Amino acid sequence: MKLSEIDTPAVLIDVDRAEANLERFQAYADSHKLAVRPHIKTHKLPRFAKRQVELGAVGITCQKIGEAEVMADAGLKDIFLPYNIIGKSKLDRLVALNKRVQLAVTADSEATVNGLAAAFRKQPKSLIVLVECDTGAGRCGVQSPQEAVALAKLIEASEGLKFAGFMTYPKNGGISENEAFLSAAKQLALDAGLDPRIISNGGSPDMWRAHEVTTATEHRPGTYIYMDRFQVAKGVGSFDDCALTVLATIVSRPTGNRAIIDAGSKSLTSDTLGMEGFGRIVEYPDAVITSLSEEHGTIDLSACGNKPQIGERVRIIPNHACVVSNLFDKVNLISGDEVVEIADVAARGRVD
């Protein structure tokens, strides 16, 4: 099947670029003796999770139990779920999942630890728990190395749980504060007789500086497999590295400088990540996608010498690839102009 036979809007994944992106970061991490634990939220496809492990990843990262269940069903054996798992229903699923894979979770509060402990106290296999640290991003996480170690002690003292280290999703660019927090937490843990054997750092924007966080033992990049307009803006790769594009059709040219495509927020999402516009049109890099409604994208062609015609198809590099993966039931795996396979996005929409 040729690219020209695919109806629009559709997601295209250039498998050659994806493979190159995976290999490039794995080689970098290997050279720094840093373990790679990719976040599958970006692709949600078992095939790529398996390929990441084949290339040397120590395991994968999922953000939801539902995603982890899909990946376990597909044969993935080592899964990190860096999330506070709360409530009976999810804890029951966590117990079941821990029986069939090597599993680890995070906690950032006594409430979360106590819930985990209540669920795992009577289980023959302990649950591995890392302490989530807020090293500057301002999301989840304990606020200081002292708090981190206090929680580590509670985990270690809880029957059914096993403390294994610290985890963070750091602030973009916050290398030094991240390193300072993690190294202090590690030292305090060692001083307390604990074994913080895993120090898990994350994020694609700073992934080429991952080795500067010398305390980290592993890195969890997600978007690196596909790249996107935001990662390019951050200097992580070039537009030629972007493996995920949205194929769209020009459906209207109401004025000389306006074009409308059949891809709106239901295909590209409203994520701007602080940038102007909602994606880069590969064939018309000077065009600006100025607004999206659900099924229409409005494009300003003022800066374009050449302008597209109605019926013409274009490819768009989205601002944020991960959220696009979550909108489509299927993606088209391509190599050049050939569609090599249409794949179900198996972990799409696993909200809980």
41 or 51, CB closer to a second copy?
41
Residues 74, 180, 282, 323: which binds a second copy (CB under 8 A)? Answer: 323
- Residue 41 sits in the site that holds a second copy (CB under 8 A): yes
29 or 94, CB closer to a second copy?
94
Interface positions, 135-164, toward a second copy (CB under 8 A): 138-143
- Residue 118 sits in the site that holds a second copy (CB under 8 A): no
Residues 21, 135, 158, 249: which binds a second copy (CB under 8 A)? Answer: 249
- Say which residues have a Cβ less than 8 Å from residue 114's Cβ, sequence separation at least 6: 158
- Residue 10 sits in the site that holds a second copy (CB under 8 A): yes
Distance, CA of 127 to CA of 96 (rounded, Å): 11
Q: Which amino acid is at 261?
A: I
Residues 146, 238, 252, 302: which binds a second copy (CB under 8 A)? Answer: 252
Residues 13, 45, 103, 260: which binds a second copy (CB under 8 A)? Answer: 260
- Residue 266 sits in the site that holds a second copy (CB under 8 A): yes
Closest CA to 301 of 261, 257, 260: 257
Interface positions, 303-322, toward a second copy (CB under 8 A): 309-311, 322
- Residue 269 sits in the site that holds a second copy (CB under 8 A): yes
- Residue 83 sits in the site that holds a second copy (CB under 8 A): yes
34 or 321, CB closer to a second copy?
321
Q: Which two tokens stand for residue 347?
A: 């972990």
Residues 24, 211, 258, 307: which binds a second copy (CB under 8 A)? Answer: 258
The 10 Å Cβ neighbour count of residue 277 is 18
Residues 25, 163, 230, 328: which binds a second copy (CB under 8 A)? Answer: 328
Smallest separation, CB 30 to a second copy (Å): 28
Q: How far is C-alpha 304 from the geometric centre of its chain's CA atoms?
A: 33
Interface positions, 171-200, toward a second copy (CB under 8 A): none
Where on the chain is the footprint of a second copy (CB under 8 A)? 7-10, 41, 63-64, 83-84, 86-87, 89-90, 108-109, 111-112, 115, 134, 138-143, 249, 251-255, 258, 260, 262, 265-267, 269-272, 293-296, 298, 309-311, 322-323, 326-329, 349, 351-352
